[in-house]
Chain A
Amino acid sequence: MATLNILIAVCLAYVALLFAVAFMAERAALKGRGNWLRSPWIYTLSLSIYCTAWTFYGAVGYAARSGLEFVTIYLGPTLVMVGWWWALRKMVRIGRTQRITSVADLISSRYGKSGLLAVCVTLLALVGITPYISLQLQSVTLSFSSFAVSDPVGASLIADQDTALWVAVGLALFTILFGTRNLDANERHHGVVMAIAVEAVVKLFALIAVGVFVVWGLAGGISPMLERIDASDIGQWQMDGGRWVGLTFLSAAAFLTLPRMFQVLVVENEDERHLRTAAWAFPTYLMLMSLFVVPIAVIGLELLPAGSNPDQFVLTVPLSQGQEGLAMLAFLGGFSSATSMVIVAAIALSTMVSNHIVMPIFLRLTQGGVNGPSDVRHVVILARRLSIGVVLALGYLYYKISGGGSALAAIGLVSFAGLAQLLPAMMGGIFWRGATRNGAFAGLVTGFAIWAWCLLLPGFGGGVLPASVMADGPWGIGWLRPHALFGIEGMDPLLHAGMWSLLLNAVVFVIVSLLSFPSPLERLQGAQFVNIFDHSDNPQSWSGGIAQSEDLMIMAQRILGPEMVQGFFQAEAARQGLAGYLPEPTPDFLARLERELSGAVGGATAHAMVAQIMGAATVSVEDLLAVADETAQMMEYSSQLEAKSNELTRTARQLRAANDKLTQLSVQKDAFLSQISHELRTPMTSIRAFSEILRDAEGLEPKDLTRYATIIHAEAIRLTRLLDDLLDLSVLENGQVNLNIRDGLLSDVISHAIAASGSDMHTMRVRRTGPAAEVMLTTDHDRLAQVFINLIANAQKYCDADRPELTIDVSRRGGRVIGTRRIALLPSKPRGIHPIPCGPTLMGLGCCEE
């Protein structure tokens, strides 16, 4: 009764064997003795990770539930391998020459190394694959409990312990050990591939062994078996043509787009000739895998009590017959299927997660903070290990949350449909140069959204999408019902979701691609991908054809600009007698193109560029693009110089304007100085003349003496006042004056000015009108008085009327009279005065304007 203990022991021993195999393979590869590792058979066997626990256990369950429909799962890949192996060859060639590491890398590289696309594909793959991984955990757990049923001690043991968790942890460890052992993250995983090949043999052998036991041991030979099949329900199943076509297509698409399939098909591929072997060997493997599915299902249905889980027939049929050894083998087969899938899927997903999500974030966070490339390599490895842990943790979580209830096949098909969304972007990218990044992105998002809405979310049951949404659509919008999109009712949900998502995905992809314009890098990558065989088939030949000419043109345009390049190419084509823009890349033409390019980037670079595109050099396309970008930077620099010289011209113009203004100011200054000179010289003249008269003192009477001295004194005072004014003016102009602002009556100011100018005596009568007594001013009263004094003095001086009279009229305009506003106080010059510019007026205005 120690079955379970033995089982666990066998399990551990088997894992230890796998470790040993992987380890030896790694060692052999390291020492270069691994030729046998590079055989097409290993490659073919590694492809068998397509057959997961789902196919191992689930196919029998599928057959028990739906008859022969399970065959579609094998039919899809078979059609791809047999009928489309040249497409696979193209993918493998692209993967090898472009050093592609994952599906996400393939799509992002094709569409101009778009980080956004890579993240998008990675997330899609994560969402699509997580249920699949949880499916493997579930199948291993189920198979454990199948054994435990017959072992009461083990049953309690199993119930106590979380088998799925231990399986997940164990798988994570194995994957980390062999999937990320090499520090060089681009290296192929010889150890893992070898271990998978061993597992492939184990699972095939196990299934065939069970099948042989069932057919010859239980049914009694082939003919009785066929009779039993005919008698069973399975033979009576109606086949739904649409579902058959749909499922076959889905499994074919998934075979191409599943990250783990891409990993073994493309990334781990050693030699693309292996595909020739795999093209017939892998379908044979699939056929062998499916050979005994129906017999096991039929016998299982017959022998086992109704209600037994048909997904476990492979195990439970031998167990029910007491064939514990055979059951153990079957268990190991299932275990192999599950583990190999999880390991490769985790490697593939972790590569995507670390390359496209973790590393970009890390590099952005630590800009310049990494010391040398070795550090980055350690980070890459660490990121991959963490990602493996995360991927398996997600799978485990999904298993715990979903409760592992759904039939294996159902989960698998949901996954298939999700991953199939990558197909348009992938195949379009490989076969259609017109495909663009925007198109790929739009198509992916569209397809993914429809898949999630119609298939993934309903799969979670009522917790996520309420029954009302399923029946009436969100917010009652009928045509958005998850299982009847756009009003198409009565279809199988899987087929319905697969059709709509892939159809709209492809349509959106094509339309957006046609409408959007690819970037230069995208065009170049597109050309590299689509014309991969032209580029890499015969690297020695110098004449390539129109494809190279187009690449040359794209490259040249980046350097010389479109107009010039198109003109040049057209002329060259005409010289060769061809119409259009693309001449044959003859040596003659290439030499001339090189000359054209060397003018912009230098001879050596130009030669390297042309040689690279013609396939005769080892410079990578990325290097060339960097060169081209540098050229663009140089051009930008020169345009910056041009801008600078424009700026200098502008500055010169501004300087000229400033100079003109200064010259004008200088003229004004001369006029001012001349005016000042006149103002100062006039009293000086009187002073000098009279002082000389007094000095000579000849013929002077005493009253003359007094009078002349008085004149000198008065003129001296006038001179002083002028100087004061002048100083005031300069202080005012410098803005350094402190005005003595206070409140007072305008009439007081005017009275003060009249008294100070002494004009009320004999020279001029001053008449005052208006409400000056009522006008309250807030201003510097002394300076305002000075303005009036100057005005009165000017009036006295220049008015030649017989009886001069000055009228000072005060009137209010608006609400306020403010002393510092000249408009209010100096509306015009006093009447009767000739408009001759004169000193005191100028001085007064100077004061008054401030």
Chain B
Amino acid sequence: MAKHVLIIEDEPNIIEAISFILSRDGWQVDTHSNGHDAVAVVRARAPDLVILDVMLPGRSGYDILTDLRANPETQDLPILMLTARGQARDREMAEKAGASRFMTKPFSNADVIEALNALVAP
């Protein structure tokens, strides 16, 4: 059964690109584009994996991640953080907030797929 991935990202073109490559790889792709109700959307849709952007309208990706990790339902959910601010400090913050994986934009499509597969592998 195809794995269910939720992309939380505000840049339409990036959503489209990731959606395309993941669909092609056999994922069931779901998207959401703002921050303030992201936590609720995650819990409602219960994806197998979340791709989370940091700079979101409404709420910061780190805050969303911290909330998700605080909830027993989602505390072990694999979450790949994507950020356009590729500094070491951002990686630290992501790890501290509990990201399963951290990638900087721009990324290689193959790396994304490989990372996602690694995250959902049994």
Interface residues of A (CB under 8 A from B): 674, 677-690, 692-693, 696, 698-699, 711, 714-715, 797-798, 800, 834, 836, 838
Contact = CB atoms under 8 A, between A and B. Distances in A.
Contacts of A677: 84-87
Given A711-B16, A800-B57, A684 B105 contact: yes
Contacts of B13: 683, 686, 690, 711, 714-715
Interface of B: 10-11, 13-14, 16-18, 20-21, 24, 34, 55, 57-58, 83-87, 90, 104-110
Given A689-B18, A715-B13, 7 more contacts: A674-B85, A681-B84, A681-B86, A686-B13, A690-B17, A699-B24, A714-B13
Given A677-B85, A686-B14, A686-B17, A834 B57 contact: yes
Contacts of B108: 688, 692
Contacts of B109: 689, 692-693, 696
B104 A681 contact: yes
Contacts of A692: 21, 108-110
A834 B87 contact: no
A689 B86 contact: no
Contacts of A681: 84-86, 104-106
A682 B105 contact: yes
B21 A689 contact: yes
B57 A693 contact: no
B106 A685 contact: yes
B58 A834 contact: yes
B34 A678 contact: no
27 contacts: A674-B85, A674-B87, A674-B90, A678-B85, A679-B84, A681-B84, A681-B86, A681-B105, A682-B84, A682-B105, A685-B17, A685-B84, A686-B11, A686-B14, A689-B14, A689-B17, A689-B106, A690-B17, A692-B21, A693-B20, A693-B109, A699-B24, A714-B13, A797-B10, A798-B57, A834-B58, A836-B57
A710 B57 CA distance: 25
B93 to A, nearest CB: 12
Contacts of B86: 677, 681
B91 to A, nearest CB: 13
| Shortest 9 CB-CB contacts between residues of A and residues of B | A689-B17, A681-B84, A685-B105, A688-B106, A686-B13, A685-B106, A678-B84, A692-B109, A684-B106
Contacts of A834: 57-58
Best-surrounded residue of A679, A686, A711, A715 (most CB of chain B within 10 A): A686
A4 B34 CA distance: 138
Contacts of A690: 13, 17
A698 B84 contact: no
A685 B87 contact: no
B34 to A, nearest CB: 6
Nearest to B108: A692
Contacts of B87: 674, 677
Contacts of B20: 693
B21 A693 contact: yes
Best-surrounded residue of A674, A679, A685, A834 (most CB of chain B within 10 A): A685
Contacts of A698: 24
Contact of A687 (B55, B83, B106): B106
Contacts of B14: 682, 685-686, 689
Contacts of A686: 11, 13-14, 17
Contacts of B55: 678, 836, 838
B114 to A, nearest CB: 13
A682 to B, nearest CB: 5
B11 A689 contact: no
A696 B18 CA distance: 14
B107 A689 contact: yes
Contact of B107 (A679, A685, A696, A711): A685
B104 to A, nearest CB: 7
B95 to A, nearest CB: 18
Contact of A685 (B10, B11, B58): B11
Contacts of A798: 57
A831 to B, nearest CB: 15
Contacts of B83: 678
A109 to B, nearest CB: 83
A178 B99 CA distance: 116
Nearest to B23: A699
B87 to A, nearest CB: 6
B15 to A, nearest CB: 10
Contacts of B16: 711
A673 to B, nearest CB: 8
A692 B109 CA distance: 7
A798 B10 CA distance: 9
Nearest to A690: B17
Nearest to B24: A699
B94 to A, nearest CB: 14
Contacts of A715: 13
Nearest to A707: B16
A800 B11 CA distance: 13
Nearest to B110: A692
B57 A688 contact: no
Nearest to B21: A693
Nearest to B83: A678
Contacts of B24: 698-699
A800 B35 CA distance: 11
A689 B17 CA distance: 6
Contacts of A680: 84
A834 B35 CA distance: 11
A682 B11 contact: yes
B66 to A, nearest CB: 17
Nearest to B15: A686
Contacts of B106: 681, 684-685, 687-689
Nearest to A688: B106
B61 to A, nearest CB: 12
Nearest to B82: A685
Nearest to B60: A836
A800 B17 contact: no
Nearest to B16: A711
Contacts of A689: 14, 17-18, 21, 106-107, 109
Nearest to B86: A677
Best-surrounded residue of B20, B58, B110 (most CB of chain A within 10 A): B20
Contact of B34 (A688, A800, A838): A800
A834 B106 CA distance: 26
A751 to B, nearest CB: 26
A685 B85 CA distance: 12
A685 B11 CA distance: 10
Contact of B17 (A674, A693, A838): A693
A227 B84 CA distance: 143
B85 to A, nearest CB: 5
A680 B55 CA distance: 13
A698 B83 CA distance: 27
Contacts of B107: 685, 688-689
